[in-house]
């Protein structure tokens, strides 16, 4: 398995593009993206658990009932959520694309991201679709990734090459996500493409399984978005024998999918609104997987822990506190906590109590841009990892006037 270039265009038979059509006032910001497969692909998706759902999710869910799709269109700058005509606008986007490119509207995934509760004018989208389609190319994954960004400061894409049955397969993805990220299902917006041949049923099983230990384990601010969605398209152009059961080929595909998803998780967490540091909480020694996952997620969600990491303060009591209120069944008197970065590792808590450590060394470790919070529950064999970021002054600044 190898990390490669190309994002959503790495897999055979996929093209993409991203343009500025006029939804966003800043003309230097792309705001409309398109990903297209040469052929109808098997498809699977997972959606936000928020009861308030963006209209595009409702339309996409209906379109994917047959497990098929050929294109993904997404706008940024407006979430098309809580609008009286939201479903109508989302469906209109699909019909406009159908008329321009000839793909059936029911084979189109539609997504939106941006401000909630603001009417979405279809005019710039209608006027932009011809340019969007005419510019489709197999080397424009970056443009598509830029077109779905909102408060993101860094582009998020990745691709992987792997082998199944003697055939080279590729899988790649792009993502957006910086704030309002606490998925409990999927995440932000993530679009994944692969030329691996895999049935819709197995694709759905793979995605639903993987998100439990990847996107569900990311949190920036504890807010679950209304528009979160992860979509995977598999067009089979690699010509491997189609994966229709949980066999060795399925396990290889799962590993490739997980590699892409973990990479995107780390990029999303590191680019949290106002963030200066990526936090990765690694929990081992859990009595069960649920315990390990609950503890890891609680630590990266703790506002006090996140603030301490921003200040490079080795305040391990905040980590223990987050574990204590997580609801997980743990023996506090067995818990060890360490901090680790490129500058080294330092033990700060042993058996639930503080130990002597160098504050200077701890500060040096925590000044790095990627911090690992290591927790050993010493109660079993289960482990889990969660991703988050520090909590900074800029997070409040960004969200204090996000709408205006």
Number of neighbours of residue 65 by Cβ within 10 angstroms: 8
Q: What are the angstrom distances between the C-alpha of 21 and each of 93, 133, 352?
A: 13, 12, 56
Cα-Cα end-to-end distance for the chain: 45
Asked if 119 and 89 touch (Cβ cutoff 8 Å), the reply is: no
Catalytic residue among 150, 187, 214, 226: 187
Strand partners, 47: 229
Instruction: Identify the pLDDT of residue 400.
Output: 76
CB-facing half-sphere around the CA of 215: CA atoms within 13 A: 33
**For residue 404, what pLDDT is reported?**
59
Handedness of CA 306, 77, 10, 68 (dihedral sign): positive
Q: How far apart are CA 57 and CA 110, in angstroms?
A: 7
**Average pLDDT over every residue of 15-42:** 96
* Sequence-ordered list of residues with C-beta below 8 angstroms from that of 150, at least 6 positions apart, any chain: 76, 77, 113, 114, 176, 178
Rounded CA gap, 93 and 104, in Å?
Answer: 12
Per-residue pLDDT band at 109 (split at 50, 70, 90): very high
Give whole-number Cα distances, 102 to 19, 105, 234, 373, in Å.
20, 9, 20, 51
285: left (phi over 0), alpha (psi -120 to 50) or beta: left
Q: Which two tokens stand for residue 167?
A: 């055939």
The tokens for 141 are: 């994954």
Q: Is the pLDDT of residue 186 over 80?
A: no
In the CATH scheme, what is the code of domain 2-270?
3.60.70.12
- Asked if pLDDT for residue 341 goes beyond 70, the answer is yes
Residue 402 pLDDT exceeds 70: no
Burial 315-338 (b: 16+ CB within 10 A, else e): bbebbbbbbeebebebeeeebbbb
Which of 14-18, 48-52, 284-288, 317-321 comes out lowest in average pLDDT?
Answer: 48-52
Give the model confidence (pLDDT) of 193-251 as tens digits: 999 999 999 999 999 999 999 988 887 655 444 557 899 999 999 999 999 999 999 99
Q: Residue 221: its pLDDT value, please?
A: 52
pLDDT at 185: 32
Distances (CA, A) of 9 to 145, 252, 255: 11, 21, 20
pLDDT at 226: 52
Tens digit of pLDDT for each residue in 255-314?
A: 999 999 999 999 988 887 778 999 999 999 999 999 999 999 999 999 999 999 999 999
pLDDT level of residue 21 (50, 70, 90 thresholds): very high
Beta bridge partners of 44: 232
Q: How confident is the model at residue 86 (pLDDT cuts 50, 70, 90)?
A: very high
Per-residue model confidence as pLDDT tens digits over 126-180? 999 999 999 999 999 999 999 999 878 889 999 999 999 999 999 999 999 765 4
49-58, 103-112, 192-201, 318-327: which has the minimum mean pLDDT?
Answer: 49-58
Lowest-confidence segment of 25-39, 141-155, 176-190 by average pLDDT? 176-190
Residue indicated by tokens 């909102």: 150
CA–CA distance, 295 with 282 (Å, rounded to integer): 9
Q: What is the pLDDT of residue 172?
A: 98
Cα dihedral value 197, 201, 207, 208, nearest 10: -170
**For all residues of the chain together, what is the average pLDDT?**
92
How many CB atoms within 10 Å of residue 212? Answer: 13
User: How far apart (Å, rounded) are the C-alpha atoms in residues 101 and 134?
Assistant: 9
For residue 180, give the nearest of 215, 228, 230 by alpha carbon.
228
User: Quick check: is 187 catalytic?
Assistant: yes
pTM of the predicted model as reported, rounded to 2 decimal places? 0.85
CA-CA distance, 134 to 375, in Å (whole number)? 52
**CATH number among 3.40.190.10, 3.40.50.300, 3.10.20.340, 3.40.640.10, domain 278-400:** 3.10.20.340
C-alpha dihedral sign at 191, 192, 197, 199: negative
Give the start-to-end residue ranges of the domains of the chain: 2-270, 278-400
H-run or E-run covering 60: helix 55-63
**pLDDT of 278-294, one tens digit each?**
999 999 999 999 999 99
DSSP type of residue 335: -
Residue 343 in tokens: 């500058």
Where would I find the H helices in 79-199?
A: 86-101, 123-134, 141-147
DSSP one-letter string for 296-334: HHHHHH-HHHHHHHHTT---HHHHHHHHHTS-----GGG
């Amino acid at each position: 398995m190898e990390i490669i270039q190309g994002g959503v265009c790495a897999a055979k038979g996929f093209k993409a593009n991203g343009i500025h059509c006029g939804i966003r006032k800043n003309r230097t910001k792309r705001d409309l993206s398109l990903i297209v497969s040469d052929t109808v692909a098997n498809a699977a998706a997972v959606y936000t658990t928020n009861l308030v759902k963006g209209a595009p999710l409702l339309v996409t869910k209906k379109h994917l009932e047959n497990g098929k799709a050929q294109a993904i269109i997404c706008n940024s700058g407006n979430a098309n959520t809580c609008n009286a005509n939201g479903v109508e606008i989302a469906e209109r986007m699909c019909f406009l694309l159908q008329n321009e490119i000839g793909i059936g509207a029911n084979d189109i995934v539609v997504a939106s991201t941006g401000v909630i509760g603001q009417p979405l004018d279809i005019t710039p989208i209608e006027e932009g679709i011809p340019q969007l389609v005419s510019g489709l190319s197999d080397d424009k994954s970056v443009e598509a990734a830029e077109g779905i960004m909102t408060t993101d400061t860094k582009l998020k894409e990745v691709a992987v090459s792997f082998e199944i049955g003697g055939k080279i397969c590729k899988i790649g993805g792009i993502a957006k996500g910086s704030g309002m990220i606490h998925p409990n299902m999927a995440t932000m917006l993530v679009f994944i493409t692969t030329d691996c041949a895999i049935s819709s049923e197995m694709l759905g099983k793979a995605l639903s399984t993987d998100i439990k230990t990847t996107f569900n384990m990311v949190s920036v601010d504890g807010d679950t978005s209304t528009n979160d969605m992860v979509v995977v398209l598999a067009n089979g152009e690699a010509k491997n024998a189609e994966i229709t059961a949980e066999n060795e080929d399925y396990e290889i595909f799962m590993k490739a999918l997980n590699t892409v998803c973990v990479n995107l998780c780390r990029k999303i967490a590191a680019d949290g609104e106002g963030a200066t540091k990526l936090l990765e909480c690694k929990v081992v020694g859990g009595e069960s997987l649920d315990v390990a996952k609950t503890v890891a997620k609680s630590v990266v969600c703790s506002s006090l822990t996140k603030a301490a990491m921003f200040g490079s303060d080795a305040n391990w009591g905040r980590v223990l506190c987050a574990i204590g209120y997580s609801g997980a069944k743990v023996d506090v008197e067995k818990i060890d906590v360490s901090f680790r970065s490129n500058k080294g590792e330092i033990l700060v808590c042993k058996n639930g109590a503080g130990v002597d450590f160098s504050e200077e060394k701890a500060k040096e470790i925590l000044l790095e841009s990627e911090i690992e919070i290591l927790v050993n529950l010493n109660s079993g064999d289960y482990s889990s990892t969660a991703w988050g970021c520090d909590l900074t002054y800029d997070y409040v600044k960004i969200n204090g006037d996000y709408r205006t």
